[in-house]
Amino acid sequence: MRRTIRDVSLPALRRAIADYMRSEGCDCCSDRNAHAGHKRVLAELLDVPPYKDGSGCDFGLFETPRPAPKPRTGVLR
């Protein structure tokens, strides 16, 4: 997939991230509807593609890889 570079202003990106983080909140103060909208704005600004089934944005394509789990040693009983 070929991507193009586009200009995104730093203030717009900062605001989008701040809005996303605020709407994430804890159980008592999160705003699920706003959170979904803020996630879409971030995806648009960062050119994150949708999942193939259209169920959301595939931020996972850009995650830092997790280290492989260490193999277990010893005898299992």
Express each pLDDT in 53-66 by its tens digit: 999 899 888 888 88
Give the C-alpha separation, 77 to 74, whole Å.
10
Q: What is the pLDDT at residue 4?
A: 59
Give the C-alpha separation, 24 to 43, whole Å.
15
Give the C-alpha separation, 34 to 44, whole Å.
15
Is the Cβ–Cβ distance between 47 and 3 less than 8 Å?
Answer: yes
Q: What is the pLDDT at residue 77?
A: 60
Every domain of the chain and the residues it spans: 10-62
Is the Cβ–Cβ distance between 5 and 11 less than 8 Å?
Answer: no
- Closest Cα partner for 49 from 7, 11, 10, 2? 2
